A = this chain, B = another copy of it.
Amino acid sequence: MADVARAAGVSVATVSKVVNGRYGVSPATHDKVLGVIADLGYEASLGARSLRSLRTNVIGVLVAEFEPFSTELLKGVSAAIGETRYELIAHSGRHHGDQVGWERRSLARLGGSVIDGAIVVTPTVVDARDGGIPVVAVDPHTGPSDVPTVDADNLGGAVTATEHLLALGHRRVAFLGGRTDLESARLREKGFREAMRRAGVPVDESLVVVGGYRAESAEAPARALLSRAERPTAVFAANDLSAIRTMDVARSLGLDVPGDLSVVGFDNVPESALSTPALTTIAQPLQEIGATALRILVSLLDGEGSSPGHARLPTTMVERASCAPPPA
């Protein structure tokens, strides 16, 4: 900026005013400075600007990792940000296995300086005052919180998935759960139990296991489930990554999907259509969830007092090729 000021024959303060469109600069100076900026290809350093000013016009999407779920959300956020004046930064910190706490750290690191507001994806602990900036949570931790939240109808989706398996004639239905610290996982299990109860089919507790939402963490429980003497004829996995890994495990055990085992997932990430067989799953409108979260955050930032509080989007079933009636 000093270079620009020198070249334009003005002070850095004036350059700053021009860059930020402040009033009180003569048109001639304004144009001159803009010209020099264009020539030199100057761009204000985000780091320095954010240190001094209250607004950076940058929105952060904070994730633990860039996997199919979070990147789908990101696509939705990115599509919706077009008309706004904000730019986007997606951040994934280093986390040595600690699945909890990364959200606070990211927020403390970026909030209050680099970003004006944040969309936090599957946080365990969110506190509206962490980092002192507006926050919207997507698919957060159990329990009510004071931050606006966007999620999908996890309960209804889980009921639908389970009923689908029951309607096909399955009775030994297993539930491969998600991350126990997330509300979504809890609701999916609840929906599973509710549908079973309604159908009058008792839940075999030994068939309800924890998969952790990640392919690696789901592998062992899936293998245990399918290696049992009395193995289930169907598995409802709490998300697609677990479901896909379950099908891999089944194959490695010589089981045919859907001949010997039916599998239903949850999320409908694009990858679910690429598996063999293609996965029947419960679709969440992930991109729309991202877009909704962005809209809420922007309205928060622009101070349109109305805090929508909570948005819940519908889920739908996508039938593909991973389900069939149980073997005779």
Q: What residues make up the interface of A, taking CB atoms closer than 8 Å to B? A: 41-48, 50-51, 65-68, 71-72, 74-75, 77-78, 81, 85-94, 104-105, 108-110, 112-114, 130, 269-271, 273-274, 278
Shortest Cβ distance from residue A19 to the other chain B in the assembled complex, whole angstroms: 12
Contacts of A74 in B (CB 8 A): 66, 71, 90
Shortest Cβ distance from residue A128 to the other chain B in the assembled complex, whole angstroms: 14
Contacts of A41 in B (CB 8 A): 104-105, 108, 130
A-B contact pairs, 14 of them (CB 8 A): A43-B104, A45-B51, A45-B112, A46-B114, A47-B114, A48-B51, A71-B71, A71-B74, A86-B94, A87-B91, A89-B90, A270-B273, A273-B273, A273-B278
Contacts of A67 in B (CB 8 A): 75, 78
Contacts of A71 in B (CB 8 A): 66, 71-72, 74-75
Q: A50-B47, A112-B45, A113-B46 are in contact. Are A78 and B65 (CB under 8 A)?
A: yes
Shortest Cβ distance from residue A205 to the other chain B in the assembled complex, whole angstroms: 35
Shortest Cβ distance from residue A181 to the other chain B in the assembled complex, whole angstroms: 18
Which chain B residue lies CB-closest to A92?
B88
Beta-carbon contact of B75 and A113 below 8 Å: no
Given contacts A67-B78, A71-B71, A71-B74, 8 further A-B contacts (CB under 8 A): A41-B130, A46-B47, A47-B50, A66-B74, A66-B78, A78-B92, A86-B94, A88-B91
Beta-carbon contact of B87 and A94 below 8 Å: yes
Contacts of A46 in B (CB 8 A): 47, 109-110, 113-114
Contacts of A270 in B (CB 8 A): 68, 269-271, 273-274
Which chain B residue lies CB-closest to A66?
B78
Contacts of A92 in B (CB 8 A): 78, 81, 87-88
